[in-house]
Amino acid sequence: MELRNKKIRAPLHIFITITLFLLQLWAVTAQNNSNDESSIQPSVNSPLVKTSTRLLSSTPSFNRLTFGFRWRRRRRRNKVNRESRQFLFAHNLVRARVGEPPLEWDGRLAAYARGWANQRVGDCRLLHSNGAFGENIFWAGSNKWRPSDLVKVWADENRFYDVKSNTCQPQEMCGHYTQMVWRDSTKVGCARVDCSNGGMYAICVYNPPGNYEGENPFGSYTDNVGLHRDDAPPVIV
């Protein structure tokens, strides 16, 4: 009986030891697996999340393609061709003579000008779009006028502008000139079209608009009389 008891106790002791060892090994393994999973699980607070998922890993490439497409579209919109450069250079030459900073060509303003000019192809009437921008318009019976030529017509109005009184001479026009040199105007876009009657219609659009009544184009104001900046600028033909 005693030998039998010893034989029974010995295997039971070993079994208990092995069981405890396996339980401990299982606990350690489970803890390691948990740590590994948490290390690869995305963190909401982490600004940089690494993932092996193909769909998510392709997102940066998609964003780059989207950005590139938008950049190319914006570049095409703001592209300055030969005619645009002539318009812009002629304006900035006039502004430089009076010490005003140069204008910047704006593709959206040019598109706006193009849209309105296309509406005037059939009649070539000297009509303003009455939009939110400053405008200079031009018509001639011949389509041989270059951008620099028609800008010069506007600029030559400076001889009718009295700087001291900030007014045009009686029965004369000088508003095209004052819009061109208006200090607060920083962007311009122009377009011209050949009319059905053989003439030419041209328009230049300025933003922010100028020619506010009671204000000096060069920014030297003697009083506060005039329109508020949120009012529409006066129509100049």
Band (pLDDT 50/70/90 cuts) for residue 5 is: very low
pLDDT band with cut points at 50, 70 and 90 for residue 79: low
Burial of 166 (C-beta count, 10 Å sphere; 0-12/13-18/19+)? middle
- CATH number of the domain that residue 148 is part of: 3.40.33.10
Looking at per-residue confidence, does 230 or 73 come out higher? Answer: 73
The CA distance from 102 to 95, in Å, is 7
Summary mean pLDDT of the chain? 75
pLDDT per position as a tens digit, 87-141: 999 999 999 999 999 999 999 999 999 999 999 999 888 889 988 999 999 999 8
In-domain check, residue 6: no
214 falls within a domain: no
Q: Mean per-residue pLDDT for 11-19? A: 68
Interior angle at CA 51, CA 47 and CA 56, nearest 5 = 90
Cβ atoms of residues 202 and 91 within 8 Å: no
pLDDT tens string 134-169 = 999 999 988 889 999 999 999 999 999 998 899 999
Least confident residue range of 90-94, 219-223, 227-231: 227-231
- Amino acid 206: pLDDT: 98
Dihedral Cα 10, 15, 18, 21, nearest 10 deg: -110
Per-residue pLDDT, averaged over 29-55, amounts to 44
The answer as to whether 13 is a domain residue is no
Residue 184 has pLDDT above 50, yes or no: yes
- Residue 168 domain flag: yes
pLDDT digits (tens, 9 = 90+) for 23-41: 777 776 666 655 555 444 4
Specify if 213 maps to a domain.
no
Flag whether 125 is in a domain. yes
> Nearest CA to 210 among 234, 189, 182, 232?
182
Span 227-235, average pLDDT:
37
pLDDT at 197: 81
- Give the domain extent around 158: 104-207
Q: Cβ of 91: how many Cβ atoms within 10 Å?
A: 27
pTM: 0.62
**The dihedral sign for the CA sequence 211, 201, 156, 98:** positive
State CA 133 to chain mean position distance.
17
Residue 190 belongs to some domain of the structure = yes
Three-state SS sequence of the chain: CHHHHHHHHHHHHHHHHHHHHHHHHHHHHHHHHHHHHHHHCCCCCCCCCCCCCHHHHCHHHHHHHHHHHHHHHHHHHCCCCHHHHHHHHHHHHHHHHCCCCCCEECHHHHHHHHHHHHHCCCCCCCCCCCCCCEEEEEEECCCCCCHHHHHHHHHHHHHHEECCCCEECCCCCCHHHHHHCCCCCCEEEEEEEECCCCCEEEEEEEECCCCCCCCCCCCCCCCCCCCCCCCCCCCCC
How many domains, the chain? 1
HSE toward the beta carbon, residue 10, CA cutoff 13 A: 6
The answer to whether position 226 is within a domain reads: no
Residue 232 pLDDT exceeds 50? no
